[in-house]
Amino acid sequence: MSHLIRELKFRGRLANARLLGDLMAGALAASAAPPPDLIVPVPLHPARQRRRGFNQAVELARPVSVRLGIPLAPSLCRRVRNTAPQSQLDGSYRRRNVRRAFAIAAASPPRVAIVDDVMTSASTVAALAAVLRRGGARRVEVWVCARASG
């Protein structure tokens, strides 16, 4: 899993996103929980997205959206601060790093799923979920490919 994600993020292997997104969708399709109204990929700062050429969370979320029939909203939220990569920080710095990093562009529907590639400390998704809740979401789920320790 870590090899597929690293190759996606740092070598642009977008086929890995399709594979991982399909696997995520298969696992999520088995859930008895009501589906969210919208899928929101974790946004990258525009400068980082320009350097990388894509947002891995968007690429993962696309096949999930299509397979589950849930609208994808990559523009609902944006990263307004160019934060340091979370992988280079420890837990306490991760929380500070993403504080006030996200903004919402419009009202959020009641049920939203955040999609990201890896969750370590949950600081990023917690910060984004808080913005979505302030925007009107009552239930925010977090869908990730991998959970890392650290």
34-51 pLDDT, tens digit per residue, is 899 999 999 999 998 999
**pTM for the whole thing?**
0.90
Domains, the chain: 2-147 (3.40.50.2020)
Whole-number CA gyration radius for the chain: 14
Q: Contact at 8 Å (CB) between 35 and 65? A: no
CA distance 104 to 90: 26
Ranges of beta strands (E only) in 1-150 are 38-41, 77-79, 102-104, 111-119, 139-147
Structure tokens at 59: 């690429």
As a whole number, mean pLDDT of residues 50-71 equals 96
Q: Could you read off the pLDDT of 76-122 as tens digits, one per residue?
A: 999 998 776 656 555 667 666 667 889 999 999 999 999 999 888 88
Compare 98 and 70 and report the one with higher pLDDT.
70
